[in-house]
Amino acid sequence: MLVFVASLTALAAPPPAADDTLPPVNSAGGPDPLLNADEQQQWLRGRRVFTRKFRLGDGLGPLFDADSCAACHRDPVIGGAGDRSVNVVRFGFHDLANDVFTDVEGGPVVSKLAIPGRPREEVNPAANVTQERQPPSLLGLGLIDRLPDSVIEANVIEDEDQNGLITGAAARIGGRVARFGHKADIPTLRDAVADALGNYMGITLDRAASAYARSSDDDDVADPELAMADFDDLVFFVSHLAPPVPSSEGLNAALVAAGRDLFEPAGCGACHVPQLINTEDGTQLNLYSDLLLHRLLPPASADPDSIPDVTSGVALPREFRTPPLWGFRNTAPYIHDGKALTLEQIMSRHAWESLASARTVINSFTDDERAALLEFLRSL
């Protein structure tokens, strides 16, 4: 089963040029404010690894999706989100009768590209579900990484009878609340960077780098293909990208205010919790997420949207981690597969636990109220 045409877009679209000047502290794509001069140099070194185009001789592949981090995380700044042309594709087997998902060989990611002389990967015929995944923005992720588990766990709501009311499950993996990935399947930011190097670029690391590192592959370049010092710099860069700053610039301030007043009544804040506070250092994260897993997909039916997602970690097939809404104006397209562009499309993907919210917006709100809610989201 070949589910998509291979595309060279990920290689063809050049990432924005990275020079050696430090962007303004706290700007979009700039460093967070706490770094001293040495750390700013490490941040710049890390950014060079992030924008580096890996070549065959650097160990790229044998299977890969793109040749640099910045090829996928680049909108509108280095470290930002990616459009659908750089989505990655996951696959697996879903036993619909028992609603159980299992990985199949070659998974979970099907790579679009291969080095010369190697056949491109095809989805294992044993798979019956595939899903696209959009590259999220990485701005502010260090603040999320540094949150104590207890801050995230404070919003957990149990729902033993699965009645569709709002719940929220913490994804515990390896003794930590996993908080990265659309499925909250990766515990730390370091793990997420190691995972990306292996899964999307075929770059191997020393096993000690992370449990999520790929430590060997069968191209002609000796493993590990990236030195630990370079990996550490890369992780440092990503974990000190400043978080998005709220702004009403260019927006209608009255609409933003009206939209802010509609957010809670529409029930959005139950999952998109406006603020989490790091109880260890007092940092306020205006991220509009509880970082918990919620069931959003409806029960299996003829509706194509009810097809369960390819899952991983502890998330159930119909669950996703609430994505932060900070930086919303720059993170289109939306939803895990990047298929939603408008507020209506975003709401049509909010079923089950979030159905009441979606109905309020679609059925009860006036056009003006929907416009206000959208203007408010753009200000985050």
Query: Tokens standing for 342?
Result: 């408008």
The C-alpha angle with vertex 194 and arms to 188 and 197, in degrees rounded to 5, equals 145
Q: Helices marked H in 63-182 — which ranges?
A: 141-145, 149-153
Contacts of 371 (CB under 8 A, 6+ apart): 255
Q: How many whole angstroms from its chain centre is CA 83? A: 12
346 near ligand HEC, judged by CB under 6 A: yes
Query: Tokens standing for 169?
Result: 């499950």
292 near ligand HEC, judged by CB under 6 A: no
Per CB under 6 A, the list member of 296, 315, 316, 372 interacting with ligand HEC is 296
> What's the rounded Cα separation, in Å, for the pair 217 and 222?
9
Q: Quick one: which segment of 18-26, 118-126, 242-250, 328-336 binds ligand HEC (CB under 6 A)? A: 328-336
Residue type, 295: R
310 near ligand HEC, judged by CB under 6 A: no
Q: Cβ of residue 280: shortest distance to ligand HEC, in angstroms?
A: 21
Q: Cβ of residue 253: shortest distance to ligand HEC, in angstroms?
A: 19
255 near ligand HEC, judged by CB under 6 A: no
> Under DSSP, is residue 294 helix (H, G, I), strand (E, B) or coil?
strand
Q: Cβ of residue 67: shortest distance to ligand HEC, in angstroms?
A: 8
Q: Cβ of residue 193: shortest distance to ligand HEC, in angstroms?
A: 4
Q: Quick one: which segment of 38-46, 146-154, 245-253, 269-277 binds ligand HEC (CB under 6 A)? A: 269-277
The C-alpha angle with vertex 280 and arms to 45 and 229, in degrees rounded to 5, equals 20
Q: Quick one: which segment of 23-31, 91-99, 120-128, 186-194 binds ligand HEC (CB under 6 A)? A: 186-194
Q: How many CB atoms lie within 10 A of CB 2?
A: 9
Reference 192, options 242, 231, 147, 249; nearest CA is 231
> What is the footprint of ligand HEC within residues 212-251 (CB under 6 A)?
234, 238
323 near ligand HEC, judged by CB under 6 A: yes
Question: By C-beta, is 37 or 118 nearer to ligand HEC?
Answer: 118
Reference 108, options 126, 90, 128; nearest CA is 90
Query: Tokens standing for 285?
Result: 């994260």
> What residues line the site for ligand HEC (CB under 6 A)?
10, 65-66, 69, 71-73, 86, 88, 133-136, 138, 141, 166, 180-182, 189, 192-193, 196-197, 200-201, 234, 238, 266-268, 270-272, 294, 296, 320, 322-323, 325, 331, 334-336, 346, 349-350, 353-354, 357, 361, 373, 377
